[in-house]
Structure 1
Amino acid sequence: MEYPVSRRPASGQPAGPAGCRRSGRSGTLSTVARFLQATYGGRAWARLLYAVIGGPLAVLGFAYTLLVLLPGTVASATLIGLPWLATGVRAARGPAAVHRALVRGLLRDPIESPPRPQAAHGLFGWIRVGLTDATGWRALAYLVLKLPPAMVATVATAFLCLYGLTAALYPLWSRFTVFPSTTDERGTHLVTITIGDGTMPEWLYVTAVGLAGLLLLLAAPWVARGLVQPDRLLARALLRPTRASHLRQARTQAMDDAAARLRRIERDLHDGAQTQLVALALRLGMARDELADGDPEAALRLVDTAHQGAKQALTELRDLVRGIHPPVLDTGLGPALQTLSARSAVPVELDIHLPDRPSPAIETIAYYTAAELLANVAKHSGARQAVLTLAPERTGWLRLTVHDDGIGGARPAPAGGLTGLAHRVGTVDGRLELSSPPGGPTVVTVELPVRA
């Protein structure tokens, strides 16, 4: 549906061709400003800095790898070889963490940190854990493979920056140089070009060198952007947790969550329903004694009090069961999300396409994930509307997306709700992604398998 557009000029804007020309000029300037911001803004110079410092760090990392592997391999048959190698492999996590932090901070690539190394007991346990530390060996591989692309990026970027800056400032310091030149019949100095036998005026030569330097400086961020891509791909491939370690961490987190949930259920039963049932038994016993003593009115009062306690205990048990498995999921994930959205404090637009019903475990995880995300929207985002989408991603996978028009700037805290959701999703080999630039919008995407 299209709405009619008013022909009345806006307040303060001249009507007719002059207003159109002014609007066109402002739109062009805005486009140019956005292009310059995207091309030569903070992220471009951050990539440039990463390219410049990558080479020296790669040399240090390569030297560390040689220091670990060569003595450890040569002396592996002695008493110090294997401990040296195991210690070096485990310690390689340190340089890898530095490179991971640089990739996160300068390249804005959110590479996850690997899980902590396994605990070791005794010298032989330390050696075994160190030699079988896949994260440490991957870190050593990264430090070796990083050297060639990092050196190319550093040399090329440093050349463009230094030579470009020198050439751009050439009009200032050229007055202190002596040019090989000739003089024409009018007395004009003509600089002899080094390539060929041509000549040009001195002012034209100086201007051309300065412009060439400016072009090199402008090209440096573009060149750095392309040269850091191999390093970015290496970091993604070798500095991220392996699938096995990710699953092991998710399994450990799931076991910890299950143990905590069991403790919470035990505490709720002990402090709630069990207390009510004990009180119920005591009141019924007292009512029996009152009946034996011939006081039916007192017995009736005790029975009525016991009845109220029984109903309260049933309510607490019902709430406890609802926390374990929401009854609303009995009719399916789609109706459960509709009920959840209707209860949200922020208006929620639903877009659900669910051809096949997922397994009960996946439905529970998806339901609680959506509930947590919608609660975050209502509490923190300041949004006026949210959109919840659930649809098949690919064969055997679902994609749950929550999009809001709030203020943005959301970041996962170490012990926050988003981190907990990521751990919960990871227990079934799922994945959670967050996009929340300052000013919004915030988009949280969760991918889950259909069958757990």
Structure 2
Amino acid sequence: MRIWRELGYTLTVPLMAALGLTHLLIVLIALVASTYVIGLPLLGGCVVAARRLGAANRGLARALAGTEVPAPAPYRPGRGPLNRLGTALGDVAGWRAIIHSVVRLPAAALAFAAAAGTWGLGLVLLTCPLWWRFPGLPAAPESWPGALLLGVLGLGLLLLAPWAVHVALLPERMLARTLLGPPPAQARIRTLEETRALAVEDAAAALRRVERDLHDGTAARLTALAMSLSMAKEELDEAGDPVRLERARALIDGAHRGAKETLSELTDLIRGIHPPALDKGLEVALATLAARSPLPVDLDAELAERPSPAVETIAFFCAAELLANVAKHSGARQAAIRLRAEDGRLRLRVWDDGEGGAVVADGGPATGSGLRGLTGRVRVVDGELAIHSPAGGPTVVTVDLPLRA
């Protein structure tokens, strides 16, 4: 339960702050000793050890405070004594953990004071009617009504305690996210690496899909068409036989139907690579998509500025996949699409009145690769996809993309 986890976190904060303070004193001693050569290895060891202290604080923040802090890049020591010492002394994550030990002291004191002042004092006042008659107790009430009033006050403090502790932990959470995670530049590099990998995988998957569709569908049909026309030619060479003429007509009719089906498949394949409706703009493409949907779709699209072609394509395929999910899985009776361009961002929102439940407990996409695929697609251009889908509905999916990829 969140209340007891946060209370446990406030009780462990003083211990972790004391450990951090002790480590800080060792670091200061190492800094003083670093004027001599022998003090530098001690200082490097303290910096690397601070990583472990930061990892322990991240684990407590995740388990008790409900704050997910990503781990920084792993420590990779250099080769050779001098390189290893230089890597240790220049470890940014270790120094950030040391800074966290310093600046967290006021936040830790605030959290512990909030817990002691609400939970501790509340319990003392709540039990006042049980001990107010004991002689020698300081600040004891003089009468039973006074003790009862203090008990009611204690009950009020206990009811207020969870909210007070939750608010008092905000600085502690902020410091953990700011100093114990990867530096902003490092986090940006990691995000770019992940999105680059996603872009490569998405491009490779698209090429494999096009190759498979062409090989298994279109190529096979064109082969059959060529064989049919070849057989028809052989039959027409014997045109004097009415039976052979009839067979030739049947073969040519079959070849004609196959040609039309092949052209239809090629059209669908081309549309899957780049929808022709996007040539007239994203609003027109979404209007076409809404008109083809089996459910009534209320479209509200208004763009003061046209996005780049790559962003338009991603937004269109996101809307197409989301509407397909609504029709197949949600049990909805209607849906809505809202499209706006604000503050240099393109925001697409798809709503439906279905059963909900499109996310699992950890906040990730539900079973199936559709929503996960959309998440990867929008991250390629540094976009975000947010899903709000409580049980019973409604489901609202918001796609936030830059106007320029």
TM over 0.5: yes
Could you say what secondary structure the match of 2:341 adopts?
Answer: strand
Residue deviations 1:203-231 (CA, integer Å, cap 9, x gap): 24433442442343233223213211113
Distance in 2 between residues matched to 1:93 and 1:286, nearest whole Å: 77
Q: Give matches, 1:235-384, under 5 Å.
A: 235-237=176-178, 239=181, 242-292=187-237, 297=245, 298-384=247-333
1: distance between equivalents of 2:155 and 2:191?
Answer: 47
Equivalent position of 2:59 in the other structure: 98
Give the superposition deviation at 1:405.
3.8
- The unaligned stretches of length 5 or more in structure 2 are none
Q: Distance in 2 between matches of 1:419 and 1:90?
A: 33
Q: Equivalents in 1 of 2:204, 2:28: separation in Å? A: 42
Shift of 1:66: 9.7
Q: Which residue of 1 aligns with 2:170?
A: 229
Shift of residue 263, structure 1, vs aligned partner: 1.0
Distance 1:50 1:436, change over 3 A: farther
Distance 1:343 1:69 in 2: 70
Closer/same/farther in 2, CA of residues 279 and 450 from structure 1, 3 Å limit = same
In the other structure, the counterpart of 1:398 is 346
Q: Secondary structure at the match of 2:165?
A: helix
For residues 384 and 436 of structure 1, the distance between their equivalents in structure 2, rounded to whole angstroms, comes to: 16
| 1:389 match: secondary structure | strand
Which one of 148, 159, 172 corresponds to residue 218 of structure 1? 159
- Residues 132 and 417 (structure 1), Cα distance of their counterparts in 2 relative to 1, 3 Å cut: farther
Deviates more, 1:141-150 or 1:261-270: 141-150
How far 1:81 sits from its partner (Å)?
Answer: 9.4
Return the alpha-carbon distance in structure 1 between the equivalents of residues 113 and 139 of structure 2.
Answer: 27
Contact 1:51-1:227 at 8 Å conserved across structures = no
| Percent pairwise identity | 46
* Residues 7 and 115, structure 2, Cα contact 8 Å, conserved in 1: yes
- For structure 1, which runs of at least 5 residues remain unmatched after alignment? 1-41, 181-191, 195-199
Selected match of 2:358 from 394, 398, 410: 410
**Distance in 2 of aligned mates of 1:57 and 1:346:** 56
Matched, 1:170 2:122: no
Task: Report Cα offsets for 1:231-250 as digits up to 9, x if no partner.
Answer: 33234445478233222211
Q: Does 1:160 align with 2:108?
A: no
Look up the SS of the partner of 2:272 in the other structure. helix
- For residues 303 and 174 of structure 1, what CA distance do their matches in structure 2 show? 106
Change (3 A) 1:361 1:245: same
Q: Aligned partners of 2:262, 2:27: CA distance in 1, in Å?
A: 64
Per-residue deviation, residues 31-84 of structure 1 (Å, max 9, x unmatched): xxxxxxxxxxx766665555445555666688899999999x98x999x99998
Residue identity in the other structure for 1:98: G
Give the Cα–Cα distance (whole angstroms) in 2 for the partners of residues 212 and 257 of structure 1. Answer: 61
When normalised by structure 2's length, the TM-score is 0.74
Distance 1:133 1:321 in 2: 51
Instruction: Answer yes or no: is the 8 Å Cα contact 1:89–1:133 preserved in 2.
Output: no
Q: Structure 2: which amino acid aligns with 1:451?
A: R
Alignment of 1:12-31 (within 5 A): none
Letter in 2 for 1:268: D
Contact 1:90/1:130 (8 A) holds in 2: no
- Aligned counterparts of 2:157 and 2:394: Cα–Cα separation in 1: 36
- Structure 1 equivalent of residue 384 of structure 2: 431
2: CA distance between counterparts of 1:253 and 1:133?
29
Rounded to whole Å, the distance in 2 between the matches of 1:276 and 1:132 is: 64
CA distance in 1: counterparts of 2:375 and 2:382, whole angstroms: 10
Tell me the amino acid that sits aligned with residue 210 of structure 2: I
- 1:9: which partner in 2? none
Aligned-pair RMSD on alpha carbons?
4.6
8 Å CA contact 2:225–2:259 kept in 1: the answer is yes
SS at match of 1:451: coil
Cα distance in 1 for residues equivalent to 2:38 and 2:200? 40
Q: What is the CA–CA distance in structure 2 between the aligned matches of 1:137 and 1:257, rounded to whole Å?
A: 38
Which whole-Å CA distance do the structure 2 matches of 1:129 and 1:368 have between them? Answer: 46
Instruction: Report which stretch shifted further, 138-147 or 214-223.
Output: 138-147
Using the TM superposition, give the Cα deviation of residue 252 of structure 1 relative to its aligned residue in structure 2, in angstroms: 0.9
What amino acid is aligned across from residue 150 of structure 1 in structure 2? A
SS of the equivalent of 1:201 reads coil
1:388 aligns to 2:337 (yes or no): yes
Whether contact under 8 Å (1:58, 1:147) holds in the other structure is yes
Quick check: 1:408–1:440 contact (8 Å CA) kept in 2? yes
Q: How much does 1:422 deviate?
A: 2.1
**1:301: Cα distance to partner?**
3.9
1:410: Cα distance to partner?
Answer: 3.5
**Cα deviation code 1:414-439 (max 9, x no counterpart):** 76433322221111111222333445
Q: What residue identity is the alignment partner of 1:417?
A: G
**In 1: Cα distance, 2:386 partner to 2:172 partner:** 22
User: Are the counterparts in 2 of residues 290 and 299 from structure 1 also a CA contact under 8 Å?
Assistant: yes
